[in-house]
Amino acid sequence: MFDKFFGRGKKNPDQALQAVQPDIPFGRYSDNNKTVEKVRRWTDADNLFKQQSYFDSIAAFFDYLADDKAGNVILNQNNESGTFQLYQGSKIVRGEFDKESLKAEITLAKMPQASVPVMRRLLEMNFNLYYSRYALDNDRLCMRFDSDIRAANPNKLYYGLKELAIKADKLDDLLVQEFAALQTVDTEHIIGIPEAEKAVKYNFMLTWIGETLDYAASLDSDKFAGGIAYLLLALAFRIDFLICPDGKLLNELEKVVEIYYRKDEKNTVERNQGMIEGYRKLLGKTKEEVYPYLFRSKHTFAIVMPQHHQTVADAINAAAQNVIWYRDNSYPLIANNVMEYALTFSQYSYSLPKPLSDLVLLYMQINYRPYFEALGFTVPFYDAQSGQFDQELIIARINQITAAWQPKYPKLLFKVESLQFQNLVAFNSSFCTEITTLNFDAN
């Protein structure tokens, strides 16, 4: 009892944050996470190219792309030539260069026998490519990119290799699923995750879907059309951020989101119904249908583009206006989902700076502690049963995030004194409000 009152049994925040936690990534990969040193390597690559030091420029460029912790880039070169590999999800970009040219290729699938429907589809998709192209090498279906070495400036390499990598990573699973003539190939590098982790992700995904659909069904579909839309969209972005589905499972989740944002004549009630039907299909999936699409992989490029922080701030401010009614009329679950939507929509739609992604993760750890505990995380930021926050721990984590990125963002300051801890709705609103004030200017 005395330990509880006087805090003798409690670790200080720094000790708690230093505890070893599971090495589990969350959210979509963002390449908007370069350190000051990495950013300088881009400048080096550009200057070296202008000096016609092409090999040195290429070396600096691949150093810029490299995430040293993830090991997503492998470069081998000598004075005359070189080879490289880039990892992007389920695919590997393999390339080579010499004094004349740079070439890169990805194997999409194996096609033992020629298929007219497959070739017709690839011919149609070729028109949407700017830098790369589809190719057939014997029974190997490929994507290729190449450039004269004297034209291989950092910008061309970046956008050419990015198109190649992202398109291939997205297409390989979809093509194999659509065409029986194709076979999956070149996926040995994918990192499997423990069965226990898959079980946690599968069970929580179904639980979240079931709870959301049940709650939405208890509301008037017309009067609460907007609130239901927030519930359904926040659910999609939560699954994307916390479960990290891939392949076919990710594609089905993206189709649910697309139903709402599609430009057609349907009203919100009809869009909500379409999303609900999509969720019911996901709810009916067995472990055997879900587990193959839960894995880890390395990435080099983000599939979405970075945006100015004002874009994120605008999304949060718009959501904040809609929170007021649900908060004041005793619908805290909807109010919390509205704020969650603003953050996770941004994480889903934009390539965010790493400190902002870390703050979004903290937000989710506070709101979904049971999920993180099931995965083995032990930092108790919030107790839903008592409604109590560990204020010191939350503030220490925020300060830890901002301090780590001060060299790149010297004006980054989160005003922790403005956080409100009366209840979860008040905290979530104040947390999001402070995110709108963050300054990610590099100078």
What are the pLDDT digits (tens) for 218-230? Answer: 999 999 999 999 9
What is the per-residue pLDDT across 329-344, written as a single tens digit (0 to 9) for each?
999 999 999 999 999 9
Same domain, 280 and 314: no
Burial class (CB in 10 A: 0-12, 13-18, 19+), 164: buried
What is the per-residue pLDDT across 68-97, written as a single tens digit (0 to 9) for each?
888 899 999 988 899 999 999 888 999 999
In terms of DSSP bridges, do strands 133-137 and 388-389 run parallel, antiparallel, or are they unpaired? unpaired
Position with higher pLDDT, 292 vs 173 = 292
The residues, ordered by sequence, that sit 6+ positions from 219 with a Cβ below 8 Å of its Cβ are 227, 228
Q: What is the mean pLDDT of the chain?
A: 91
In a domain? residue 183: no
Show the domain range for 323.
1-31+302-443
Cα dist from 325 to 27, 63, 143, whole Å:
30, 50, 51
What does the DSSP 8-state code read for residue 89?
Answer: T
Same domain, 66 and 84: yes
Instruction: Report the sign of the C-alpha dihedral through residues 425, 217, 225, 325, in that order.
Output: negative
User: What CATH number is given to the structural domain containing 71?
Assistant: 3.30.1460.10
Q: Which of 255, 272, 291 is the last residue of a domain?
A: 291
What does the DSSP 8-state code read for residue 183?
Answer: B
Distance separating alpha carbons of residues 159 and 151, to the nearest angstrom: 13
As beta bridge partners, residue 135 has 142
Same domain, 23 and 109: no
In a domain? residue 187: no
402-405: list long-range contacts, CB under 8 Å, 24+ apart: 402/355, 404/355, 405/353, 405/354, 405/355
**Mean predicted confidence (pLDDT) in 189-200:** 90
Burial class (CB in 10 A: 0-12, 13-18, 19+), 188: exposed
Same domain, 55 and 156: yes
Same domain, 16 and 91: no
User: Taking the model in full, what pTM does it have?
Assistant: 0.90
As beta bridge partners, residue 86 has 73, 93
